[in-house]
Amino acid sequence: MRKTIISRESREEPKGGTKWLDLGSIASVEISSEDPAQPIDAALQPVGAPGWRAAEPGPQMVRILFDEPQRLSRIYLLIDEEQVPRTQEFVLRWSPDGKKFREIVRQQFTFSPPGTTIEQEEYKVELTGVAVLELEIMPDVSGSAARASLGRLLLA
């Protein structure tokens, strides 16, 4: 029998041969806060560091500003919480001009460590002329002091 032990990061990645956009070369990012130990850069690449975490509790915003409008066909999100039970809500929206935004999805998910700790979503979309993509995260709808986190945000 052939056997390979894979890392945790390998298990988290979406399946298939999707060619994810290199956001570092085509966009800039605005964030509402950032834990220096877990910067946003780590969440915007297919493999590597453990992702982004907010420096403070409460609602957070991750905004991707494209240098040139983009066509998007897939959006992959991975959010994990292994410590604090909470119900999180996120809203993903896009804009052709940075002024008028259109909602793609609004979703709630309950984390119940140690059982349910990962929310993984992959959306197939047909968006053209995307100038800005926003991810707004309410880390706990009950208003606790939970901090938002983002394991991965990949775009194709």
pLDDT in tens, 86-139: 899 999 999 999 999 999 999 999 988 888 888 999 999 999 999 999 999 999
Q: Say which residue the tokens 């991810």 belong to.
A: 135
pLDDT band at 10 (very low <50, low <70, confident <90, very high): very low
Q: Which bin fits 126, alpha (ψ -120 to 50), beta or left (φ > 0)?
A: beta
- Binning pLDDT at 50, 70 and 90, where does residue 11 land? very low
The pair of structure tokens assigned to 149 is 């986190």
Q: What is the pLDDT of residues 38-70, one digit of tens each?
A: 999 999 988 877 899 999 999 999 999 999 999
Q: Give the contacts of 66 (CB within 8 A, at least 6 positions apart).
A: 26, 27, 130, 131, 132, 133
pLDDT tier at 14, thresholds 50, 70, 90: low
